[in-house]
């Protein structure tokens, strides 16, 4: 069994990467989120970082500009998903922080990620799992933003506390439904706290800080799945261990990076990186 783990396209799927993937002849593709081009939106978030909280970015830049950016994102998102289907392999996907969902797009009269995955026959895992070659592939969608992680001035907001409680409840739910954790490949968009999570981007207001998800660290330590596949942090590609769990940062697709997870008949796992 050969799995392609790929994510953080941000609207770009380099031809060299596609050519390398074709040579791998994978059996399954797993998308780790951040499919659309949201670079302009991200840059605006950085620009207005100190103002966001009292006002939303939408209020700051205006309705017309915000709608324009959302339309651009949803179009580029569909393009990337469609390109993944051209490999003619089964696809399981989760979503991250940049992806445009149905409920977010509804007010603009647009269809989001859930609809796009459905018409492209991509299985979207929000908090789901599936047996793959004697392993359980557990997909966990979503992302906790800087405020939810206590990295901004509004971290004590009641809505954020409720959101964090819901996030942990989802993690408890998926792990409680799993049994033999040595046979679990867990997939999330974000990295665990203190693993591949130090920002190295001078444009970011959080440059130099560790911004990984502490709940991921907590539950990986507790349950010790065999693998945890993650993306989000464009600075990193590699593997580290958290207890018995191998943390695999797959690297960003827009830079031509991904990972190959190969499982043999004896359940031995080999991780290789596409660079």
pLDDT value, residue 141: 98
Q: What is the CATH number of the domain that holds 251?
A: 3.60.21.10
d(C-alpha 81, C-alpha 203), whole Å: 29
Give the distance from CA 16 to its chain's centroid. Answer: 22
Which residues contact residue 269 at a Cβ distance below 8 angstroms, ignoring those fewer than 6 apart? 226, 227, 246, 261, 262, 263
Does this model's pTM top 0.85? My answer is yes
φ/ψ of 136, rounded to 5, equals -105, 120
pLDDT band (50, 70, 90) for residue 156: low
**pLDDT tens profile 221-262:** 999 999 999 999 999 999 999 999 999 999 999 999 999 999
Q: Which two tokens stand for residue 175?
A: 């792990």
pLDDT value, residue 189: 98
154: pLDDT strictly greater than 70:
no
Residue for token pair 């018995």: 244
**pLDDT tens profile 119-136:** 999 999 999 999 988 899
Q: Which two tokens stand for residue 269?
A: 């796992």
pLDDT value, residue 25: 93
How many percent of the chain have pLDDT more than 90? 80
155: pLDDT strictly greater than 60:
no
In the predicted model, what is the mean pLDDT of residues 33-59? Answer: 90
pLDDT value, residue 169: 96
Determine contact, residues 275/251, Cβ cutoff 8 Å.
yes
d(C-alpha 136, C-alpha 181), whole Å: 9
From residue 9, give the alpha-carbon distance in Å to each of 93, 137, 165, 263: 13, 22, 30, 25
53: pLDDT strictly greater than 80:
no
pLDDT value, residue 109: 87
Domain count, the chain: 1
Residue for token pair 């018409």: 119
pLDDT band (50, 70, 90) for residue 14: very high
Q: Structural domain of residue 88, as residue ranges?
A: 2-274
35 vs 264, more confident: 35
pLDDT value, residue 230: 98
266: pLDDT strictly greater than 70:
yes
From residue 149, give the alpha-carbon distance in Å to each of 143, 166, 167, 192: 10, 14, 12, 12
**pLDDT tens profile 166-200:** 999 999 999 999 988 999 999 999 999 999 999 99
Q: Which two tokens stand for residue 89?
A: 């392999």
147: pLDDT strictly greater than 90:
no
How many percent of the chain have pLDDT more than 70? 99
Q: Write the secondary structure of the chain as one string of H (helix), E (strand) and C (coil).
A: CEEEEECCCCCCCCHHHHHHHHHHCCCEEEECCCCCCCHHHHHHHHHCCCCECCECHHHHHCHHHHHHHHHHHHHHHHHHHHHHHCCCCCEEECCCCCCCCHHHHHHHCCCCHHHHHHHCCCEECCEEEEEECCEEEEEECCCCCCCCCCCCCCCCCHHHHHHHHHHHHHHHHHHHCCCCHHHEEEEECCCECCCCCECCCCCCCCCCCECCEHHHHHHHHHHCCCEEEECCCCCCCEEEEECCEEEEECCCHHHCCEEEEEECCCCCEEEEEEC
pLDDT value, residue 153: 65
d(C-alpha 218, C-alpha 54), whole Å: 31
Which residues are paired to 260 by β-bridges? 4, 272
pLDDT value, residue 65: 93
């Amino acid at each position: 069994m050969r799995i392609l783990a790929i994510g953080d396209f941000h609207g770009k799927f380099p031809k060299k990467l596609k050519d390398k993937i074709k040579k791998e002849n994978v059996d399954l593709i797993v998308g780790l989120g951040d499919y659309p081009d949201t670079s302009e939106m991200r840059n605006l978030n950085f620009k207005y970082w100190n103002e966001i909280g009292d006002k939303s970015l939408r209020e700051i830049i205006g309705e017309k500009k915000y709608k324009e950016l959302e339309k651009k994102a949803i179009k580029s998102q569909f393009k990337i998903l469609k390109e993944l289907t051209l490999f003619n392999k089964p696809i399981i996907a989760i979503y991250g922080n940049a992806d445009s969902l149905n409920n977010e797009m509804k007010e603009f009269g647009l269809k989001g990620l859930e609809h796009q995955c459905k018409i492209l026959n991509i299985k979207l895992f929000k908090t789901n799992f599936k047996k793959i070659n004697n392993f359980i592939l557990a997909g966990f969608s979503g992302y906790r933003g800087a405020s939810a992680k206590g990295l901004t001035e509004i971290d004590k907001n009641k809505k954020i506390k409720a959101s964090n409680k819901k996030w942990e409840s989802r993690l408890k739910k998926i792990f409680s439904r799993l049994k033999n954790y040595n046979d679990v490949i867990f997939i999330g968009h974000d990295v665990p706290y203190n693993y591949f999570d130090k920002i190295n981007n001078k444009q970011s207001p959080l440059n130099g800080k560790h911004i990984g998800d502490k709940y991921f660290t907590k539950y990986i330590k507790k349950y010790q799945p065999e693998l945890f596949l993650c993306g989000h942090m464009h600075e990193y590609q590699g593997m580290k261990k958290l207890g018995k769990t191998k943390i695999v940062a797959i690297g960003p697709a827009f830079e031509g990076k991904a990972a190959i997870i190969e499982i043999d008949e004896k359940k031995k796992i080999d991780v290789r990186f596409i660079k």
